[in-house]
Chains A and B, each alone.
Chain A
Amino acid sequence: MSTKYSGYLGRFLDIDLSTGKVGEYDVTDEMLEAYLGSKGLASKILYDTLSKGVNPLGEENVFIVNTGPLVNSGAPCTSRFNVTTKSPLTGGILSCNCGGNFGMFLKRAGFDGLILRGKASKPTWIHIEDGEVELKDAKDLWGLTTEEAQEKLPKGTGKMVIGPAGENAVLYACIISQERALGRGGAGAVMGSKNIKAITAKGNHKVPKANPEKFKKDVRKWVEILKEHPSTGEMMPEYGTAVFINRCNAANTLPTHNFKRGSFAEADAVSGETLAETRLTGNFGCASCVIKCGRRVEVDGKNVKGPEYETLGLLGPNLENPDLGLICDWNYQADLVGVDTVSLGNVLGFAMELNENGLWDNGLEFGKVDNISGVIDDIANRRGIGDDLADGVKRLSEKYGGKDYAMEVKGLELPAYEPRGAVGHGLGYAIANRGGCHIGGGYMVYFEANGPLTMDPLTTRAKPQLTAMLQTMLDALSDSGSCQFTGFTTIPKQAIELNPHGNVYRVVAKSLELMGPMMELILRFPKMLAFVPPMALMQHPRVITDLTGMKMTFGKFLEIGLRTYMIERLFNAREGFTGADDTLPRRSTHQVQEGGTDTTVPLNQMIRIYYRVRGLDANGAPKHDTLRRLGMRA
């Protein structure tokens, strides 16, 4: 592959692990124009490469690592990289996005991405340096924790590694780069199934820029916007994502007792505020980040990554555990062995409720914390009850029962937002292509309960249209290589600082409920937005134009996000997913919260509208006309 566009290195590795043959995958300029990079491009490659029904942990699955054009360009918050594969947890498409440092180093090594096929005959470590690839023996790394493995690998390289959980095919095993995780859906198990313990990269390649002067000027302005914005310049650096614990608790959206309730009496004990007051040793950011939302805490005398909101919610209130110190310990332990803390918190909560209901005598109880650390190790090594727990909530419910309160969608366990307190967010869980996911679902809760500008969390008005719009924007941000938190500045500082008790705020908040038809029109005909948005509103299209030389209008940017969702839909439809899979656990749709909101998620009425907005048929598959409009075909 070579490309006329700047921002890319123009090389995409294609490695057959079974034969050791190293070649290059041909990514065309048309593919870059249609999908830009990262998640969208990798999804297209996966769709074109795999045939229906392959075993996710078999040799025939492929494992794609790639970047967006902004990565390593000098733009802020752009050290993200992406992994796309077929998920062993869901059987559907899986894309994971991570900070860490591997993406930047991969581009420095001279490549935009890589695809792994087949399976190495023995534990292997892949080293990529200045355009060259070496498959190395990893027998001395196999069995090590993610921290030990990274310490043993050469200094000055970008790294991505799995822990024992990935080696032992835990279906929600993650991949770690520095201290950041490609968390969800079992990408670590796929890497392990190919006998790959680690990938490292280094080199001296620079990202070419189409208009370096304008790029520099616009990037400087972008940094200013991020630093001056209340979300990215003040709250996120100060409290990180953990600040949402108390807010979600107050709004009945904090999962408690395996999502039976939406609030926890002792939530403040595990909140971002308490974390900042009692355990925080500092904050940190990924390379090129100016937000620095990461937390640092002390565990066993070591200064390590602190828990994010998701981890706090699911290993705290969801298990009726108010011990912040233990959550910090378990978070660190989960990263060392390489398991996703979102799935882990769900699996433990579900197993506790199964035990409570007499369906599985497993020794796990809500509020009982002394055996959890041992169970995490058992999961990573598939020992004792850990062997069942390692298969995730869906398979546990198939074996032991409790399907009504198995909190998963398409096999992926739910993140830490209780959907009956924010019904649009519930819609997002149901229709996200990788399964129960808040990011893939559009993160509607930000406009329902947590954010500065909120709609009625229990109304369905305009939620399907806004969900589709937010998903589209988040997908496009990911494709560019940018951190999705940069999207917070799309809501201008002035709007955030509106007086919530004034008439202007009331009009703006109310108008969100009236924006459905306009959103639908834009999503149907994005090309009509044939302009580059003002820098203060949205920075990405302008900076992508400066960098790549593509004429990136707002409409084209949205179209890239629309295609990204649609290619994932096509993949899942080919695998046999239907509208019946776009659903929620019965607890969310048929039972009211204990002691919280007296409503359930009215999913059916929202999903009908959502399908119409997206151009999907009654079975959730892309209509021919929708694909044609986007220049795609099945």
Chain B
Amino acid sequence: MPTVKFYASLRKVTGEREAQIQAGSVKEVLQRLSTDYDGELRRYLKISSILVNGKNVIHMKGKRTRLKPDDVVSIFPPLGGG
């Protein structure tokens, strides 16, 4: 089952650092998260970047990116810093 890791504000919203999500694609991960957590998370998911094994899915197949059971999905809200 892929591991989904939450960062920055998403940890406050979910109350968790990570979760195991039964999903075969990024789209399924987002659907499961939207169902399992409250509306605040849905607002963040709309503006968050998603990396699969370190690669941003916008440079892969977006939400259609397929997932294997040992994949790590990292979700980040927009950040600023340097």
Say if the beta carbon of A250 comes within 8 Å of chain B: yes
Q: In whole angstroms, what is the CA distance A456 to B81 when docked?
A: 20
Chain B positions within 8 Å of A263 at CB level:
54
For B7, B48, B59, B78, the residue with the greatest tally of chain A CB atoms inside 10 Å of its CB is B78
Residue of B nearest to A237 (CB): B80
Chain A positions within 8 Å of B9 at CB level:
234-235, 238
Distance in Å from the Cβ of B55 to the closest Cβ of chain A? 8
For A457, A500, A597, the residue with the greatest tally of chain B CB atoms inside 10 Å of its CB is A500
Q: Are B79 and A505 in contact (CB under 8 A)?
A: no
Chain B positions within 8 Å of A597 at CB level:
54
Which stretch from A100-108, A443-451, A567-575 is at the chain B interface? Answer: A443-451
Q: Are B82 and A446 in contact (CB under 8 A)?
A: yes
Say if the beta carbon of A438 comes within 8 Å of chain B: yes
Q: How large is the interface on A (under 10, 10 to 19, 20 to 34, 35 or more residues)?
A: 35 or more
Q: In whole angstroms, what is the CA distance A293 to B8 when docked?
A: 15
Chain B positions within 8 Å of A509 at CB level:
58
Chain A positions within 8 Å of B11 at CB level:
273
Distance in Å from the Cβ of B50 to the closest Cβ of chain A? 7
Q: In whole angstroms, what is the CA distance A53 to B78 when docked?
A: 46
Which stretch from A145-153, A240-248, A349-357 is at the chain B interface? Answer: A240-248
Chain B positions within 8 Å of A252 at CB level:
54
Chain B positions within 8 Å of A241 at CB level:
81-82
Q: In whole angstroms, what is the CA distance A236 to B8 when docked?
A: 11
A-contact bits for B38-62, CB 8 A (1 contact / 0 none): 0000000011111100101111001
Residue of B nearest to A234 (CB): B9
Q: Are A235 and B62 in contact (CB under 8 A)?
A: no
Q: Are A235 and B8 in contact (CB under 8 A)?
A: yes
Contact partner, A497, options B47, B59, B63, B81, Cβ 8 Å? B47
Q: Are B79 and A235 in contact (CB under 8 A)?
A: yes
Distance in Å from the Cβ of A119 to the closest Cβ of chain B? 36
Q: Are A500 and B47 in contact (CB under 8 A)?
A: yes
Contact partner, B81, options A243, A268, A496, Cβ 8 Å? A243
Q: Are A505 and B8 in contact (CB under 8 A)?
A: no
Contact partner, A505, options B54, B58, B81, Cβ 8 Å? B58
Q: Are A485 and B80 in contact (CB under 8 A)?
A: yes
Q: Are A454 and B58 in contact (CB under 8 A)?
A: yes
Q: In whole angstroms, what is the CA distance A235 to B48 when docked?
A: 13
Q: Do A250 and B46 form a contact, CB below 8 Å, given A241-B81, A273-B7, A273-B11?
A: no
Q: Are B59 and A452 in contact (CB under 8 A)?
A: no
Say if the beta carbon of B24 comes within 8 Å of chain A: no
Chain A positions within 8 Å of B46 at CB level:
497, 499
Q: In whole angstroms, what is the CA distance A439 to B82 when docked?
A: 8
Q: Are B8 and A272 in contact (CB under 8 A)?
A: yes
Say if the beta carbon of B17 comes within 8 Å of chain A: yes
Q: In whole angstroms, what is the CA distance A252 to B82 when docked?
A: 16
Residue of B nearest to A239 (CB): B8
Q: Are B76 and A247 in contact (CB under 8 A)?
A: yes
Say if the beta carbon of A304 comes within 8 Å of chain B: no
Say if the beta carbon of A299 comes within 8 Å of chain B: no
Residue of B nearest to A293 (CB): B81
B-contact bits for A493-516, CB 8 A (1 contact / 0 none): 000111111000110010000000
Q: In whole angstroms, what is the CA distance A235 to B46 when docked?
A: 17
Say if the beta carbon of A232 comes within 8 Å of chain B: yes
Q: Are A500 and B81 in contact (CB under 8 A)?
A: no
Residue of A nearest to B63 (CB): A501
Residue of A nearest to B53 (CB): A250
Say if the beta carbon of A488 comes within 8 Å of chain B: yes
Distance in Å from the Cβ of B7 to the closest Cβ of chain A? 5
Q: In whole angstroms, what is the CA distance A239 to B76 when docked?
A: 13
Say if the beta carbon of A131 comes within 8 Å of chain B: no
For B8, B47, B58, B79, the residue with the greatest tally of chain A CB atoms inside 10 Å of its CB is B79
B-contact bits for A273-287, CB 8 A (1 contact / 0 none): 100000000000000
Say if the beta carbon of A251 comes within 8 Å of chain B: yes
Q: Are B81 and A250 in contact (CB under 8 A)?
A: no
Q: In whole angstroms, what is the CA distance A246 to B6 when docked?
A: 10
Q: Are B58 and A235 in contact (CB under 8 A)?
A: no
Distance in Å from the Cβ of A76 to the closest Cβ of chain B? 15
Q: Are B81 and A499 in contact (CB under 8 A)?
A: no
Q: Are A250 and B51 in contact (CB under 8 A)?
A: yes
Q: Are A230 and B78 in contact (CB under 8 A)?
A: yes
Contact partner, B54, options A232, A251, A446, Cβ 8 Å? A251
Distance in Å from the Cβ of A174 to the closest Cβ of chain B? 18
Residue of B nearest to A271 (CB): B7
Say if the beta carbon of A596 comes within 8 Å of chain B: yes
Chain B positions within 8 Å of A451 at CB level:
78-80
Q: Do A232 and B80 form a contact, CB below 8 Å, given A456-B59, A500-B49?
A: yes
Say if the beta carbon of A231 comes within 8 Å of chain B: yes
Contact partner, A231, options B17, B47, B78, Cβ 8 Å? B78
Q: Are B58 and A498 in contact (CB under 8 A)?
A: no
Residue of A nearest to B18 (CB): A268
Residue of B nearest to A493 (CB): B78
Residue of A nearest to B75 (CB): A250
Q: Are B79 and A244 in contact (CB under 8 A)?
A: yes
Q: In whole angstroms, what is the CA distance A244 to B76 when docked?
A: 10
Q: Do A247 and B79 form a contact, CB below 8 Å, given A235-B8, A238-B9?
A: yes
Q: In whole angstroms, what is the CA distance A263 to B74 when docked?
A: 14
Distance in Å from the Cβ of A271 to the closest Cβ of chain B? 8
Chain B positions within 8 Å of A457 at CB level:
56
Chain A residues proximal to chain B, CB less than 8 Å: 229-232, 234-236, 238-244, 246-247, 250-252, 263, 268, 272-273, 293, 309, 421, 438-439, 443, 446, 450-452, 454, 456-457, 484-485, 488, 496-501, 505-506, 509, 596-597
Supplied contacts A454-B58, A499-B46, 18 more A-B pairs, CB within 8 Å:
A235-B8, A235-B77, A235-B78, A235-B79, A238-B8, A243-B7, A243-B79, A247-B7, A247-B79, A251-B56, A273-B11, A309-B81, A446-B82, A451-B80, A452-B49, A500-B49, A506-B62, A597-B54
Top-7 shortest CB links A-B: A231-B80, A452-B78, A241-B81, A250-B74, A496-B78, A235-B80, A488-B80
Chain B residues proximal to chain A, CB less than 8 Å: 5, 7-9, 11, 17, 30, 46-51, 54, 56-59, 62-63, 74, 76-82
